[in-house]
């Protein structure tokens, strides 16, 4: 009997979607991804979370709850570091243990990436394959093919980015983590509204990796949080090429609050709007702020 792997549609999913899906597809492993975020998922996540958890984590926990009874194994990877001298958000460090404690009845498969302590991504996927009962050579082949698909997708993103920057219309950079920008309750209403108003939307995660280390250093020579380093690099890379920048955060993210301060200090004449999501009930307040921001951009008024 073939087992079904459940993948929560939140947090790291939006960074590794192609890599994960391609790996499972190459091994003919059946998987299911939770549905788009909705208020029922958010409610379930909030009921299981401590008040101090960020909105993104609450949503992720709700996505886990929505997979109960729909899969045999739950996929919850752990990532501590992607660079030797840096770290990712502590939520990603403890995600496996957190979900295991919240839902002890669920069977979980995972992997660990910790470059600082020589736990590479390749080793992580070999471990994942072993948990699923595959030989090392088969897991390695599946991983290498998945990495190739991921690289090809990045090339497509870069080509699409060039097209976006060449468009003769207003351009706005949406600056934030992929799991916030792509969530149907957080970032999607923002990007949909901008597109509806004939704005070319550029997402911060579209920045080619080759530019990250060069551009974040224009703000700070060293940044401890890898994913926030990427946000700072995107800000510096695009600030002169766009008409406005919208910074999108999920409350109460500590690393993001520091990033916001750095951006505001370096914004110069750039038009910057900070949108922080804490409670989700209606888009009215967000749309009102977006309307004002677009009016300001069209009128060429500086913040």
Helix/strand/coil for 197? coil
- CB-CB contact of 41 with 66 (8 Å): yes
Write down the pLDDT at residue 301.
41
How high is the pLDDT of residue 50?
A: 85
> How far is residue 96's CA from residue 100's CA, in Å, rounded to a whole number?
6
Taking alpha carbons only, the member of 4, 25, 19 closest to residue 73 is 4
12-37 pLDDT, tens digit each:
999 999 999 999 999 999 999 999 99
Residues 62 and 224: their CA atoms lie apart, in Å, by 29
In terms of Cα–Cα distance, which of 159, 301, 303, 183 is closest to 248? 183
Question: Read out DSSP for 84-102?
Answer: TT-B--HHHHHHHHHHHHH
> Comparing 4-148 with 167-298, is the CATH topology the same?
yes
pLDDT tens, position by position, 33-75:
999 999 999 999 999 988 888 999 999 999 999 999 999 999 9
Residue 8 CB contacts under 8 Å (≥ 6 apart), including other chains: 33, 34, 60, 63, 64, 66, 67, 74, 75, 76
Is residue 198 helix, strand or coil? Answer: coil
pTM greater than the 0.85 cutoff: yes
pLDDT of residue 303: 36
For the chain, what are the domain ranges? 4-148, 167-298
Instruction: Spell out the CATH class of 4-148.
Output: alpha beta
For the chain (303 residues), the mean pLDDT of every run of 10, in chain order, is 90 96 97 96 92 91 96 95 89 91 94 92 96 96 96 89 88 95 94 94 92 92 91 94 93 85 88 86 81 84 39
pLDDT at position 258 = 87
Element (H, E) at 5: strand 4-7
Q: Which fold has domain 167-298?
A: Rossmann fold (3.40.50)
């Amino acid at each position: 009997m073939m087992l079904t792997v459940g993948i929560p549609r939140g947090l790291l999913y939006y960074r590794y979607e192609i890599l994960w899906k391609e790996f499972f597809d190459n091994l003919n492993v059946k998987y299911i991804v939770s549905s788009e975020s909705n208020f029922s998922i958010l409610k379930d996540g909030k009921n299981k979370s401590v008040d101090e958890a960020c909105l993104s984590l609450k949503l992720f926990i709700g996505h886990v709850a929505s997979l109960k009874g729909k899969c045999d194994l739950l996929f919850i990877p752990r990532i501590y570091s992607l660079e030797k001298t840096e770290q990712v958000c502590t939520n990603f460090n403890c995600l496996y243990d957190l979900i295991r404690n919240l839902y002890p009845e669920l069977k979980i498969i995972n992997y660990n990436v910790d470059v600082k302590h020589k736990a590479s991504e390749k080793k992580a996927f070999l471990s994942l394959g072993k948990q699923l009962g595959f030989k090392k050579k088969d897991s390695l082949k599946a991983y290498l093919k998945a990495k190739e698909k991921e690289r090809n997708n990045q090339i497509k993103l870069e080509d699409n980015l060039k097209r976006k920057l060449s468009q003769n219309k207003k351009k706005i950079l949406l600056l934030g983590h992929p799991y916030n920008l792509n969530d149907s309750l957080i970032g999607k209403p923002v990007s949909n509204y901008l597109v509806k108003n004939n704005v070319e939307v550029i997402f911060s995660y579209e920045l080619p990796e080759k530019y990250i280390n060069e551009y974040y250093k224009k703000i700070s020579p060293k940044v401890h949080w890898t994913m926030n380093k990427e946000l700072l690099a995107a800000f510096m890379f695009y600030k002169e090429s766009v008409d406005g920048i919208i910074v999108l955060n999920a409350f109460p993210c500590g690393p993001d609050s520091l990033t916001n301060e750095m951006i505001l200090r370096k914004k110069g004449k750039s038009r910057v709007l900070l949108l922080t999501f804490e409670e989700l009930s209606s888009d009215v307040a967000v749309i009102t702020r977006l309307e004002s921001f677009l009016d300001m951009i069209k009128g060429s008024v500086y913040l």
